[in-house]
Amino acid sequence: MTQPSQIKNQLFKTATTATIARFARITGTGSYLPPNRVTNADLVSQLAATGIETSDDWIVERTGIRARHFSAQGVLTSELAVAAAQKAMQAAGLLASDIDLIIVATSTPDMVFPSTACIVQNKLGIAGCAAFDIQAVCTGFVYALSVANAMIQSGAANRAIVIGAETFSRILDFKDRTTCVLFGDGAGAVVLEASATPGILATDLHADGKHVGILCVPGNVGGGAVEGSAFLHMDGQAVFKLAVGVLADTARTTLAKAGKTETDIDWLIPHQANIRIMTSTAKKLKLDMDKVVVTVDQHGNTSAASIPLALDTAVRSGQVKQGQTLMLEAVGGGFTWGSALVQY
């Protein structure tokens, strides 16, 4: 019996040999959240037991976050990534063996090396295709999407799985209420396939290393131990000022590259870090908040996973529909920032 993926393979070969122009389109999305959902009330109670005071009102007012998910002890980033990738491939009607490129965006890899992408590749039961990680913190998924798009356009790959996955709970200092309430764990993935029809319309990537210190995990491994701090450190005010200053600019740059304007955006899907940053960016782009996909209230900040998590949530809920134009944008430690305009 002919499998659906075999039929799709034959159609794919026909399409790619009959056309000259190559584009990359998202053909499937997937996501995964650990089952342990931690509400603000849960976290407030946990912190109070260690003498740290905070409140649901304080967290919601400053961030918009009401809950997040934490992985169980011993659960690694690759496990979340595999679960999201499998859902994305199922949505695209593909088998793991159909994939010829794996990129994982993460700041919380399973090991120093090899890459989490290679571990994911093995867990998916495939071998031989290119697999590597991208580390751009919260902007990682946009970076990875841009790289995969370029590789597909060049002919270096035909079908890619692009994953953002994080277990930030491993690097949170639960004695620091200014950071431990912000982050969560999760993974999101998209399948990108070569197509004669444009999908990724334009991307824009930036970094400025002089801002390394305002958001970082400054520890490193040396002599079999962690040297320095292995906890996340953040200057919240500095991050906020930088974020609101660059997100609207990169979105406008990407729109200009694609020959589009703000009015062409059906959905803004920003990095889910802070509702105030998201609201400010939407205002600068003259977009109503009902055109912004918001999941930060339920997921917290999942770093590189936040955009593909939000995208999959919006696709599966029926918010995002085929043919719509999506603006994806993020800002993160490094300092990095960037955006991608997508015809879904």
Catalytic residues: 138, 271, 301
Helical axes 275-284 vs 56-63, angle rounded to 10°: 20
Strands 220-222 and 225-227: antiparallel
Q: 136 is written with which tokens?
A: 């751009």
The answer to whether the beta carbons of residues 93 and 159 sit under 8 Å apart is no
Q: Is 227 helix (H, G, I), strand (E, B) or coil?
A: strand
Spatial distance between the Cα atoms of 163 and 107, rounded to a whole number of angstroms: 12
Q: Give the CA dihedral 102, 105, 109, 114, nearest 10 degrees.
A: 40
Closest alpha carbon to 43 in 68, 71, 73: 68
Spatial distance between the Cα atoms of 99 and 281, rounded to a whole number of angstroms: 35
Q: Distances in Å between the alpha carbon of 115 and those of 21, 118, 134, 226, 326? A: 32, 5, 9, 19, 30
Strands 101-105 and 159-167: parallel
Spatial distance between the Cα atoms of 78 and 131, rounded to a whole number of angstroms: 13
Spatial distance between the Cα atoms of 49 and 128, rounded to a whole number of angstroms: 50
3-state secondary structure 245-300: HHHHHHHHHHHHHHCCCHHHCCEEEECCCCHHHHHHHHHHCCCCHHHECCCHHHHC
Task: For CA atoms 320, 325, 331, 337, give the dihedral sign.
Answer: positive
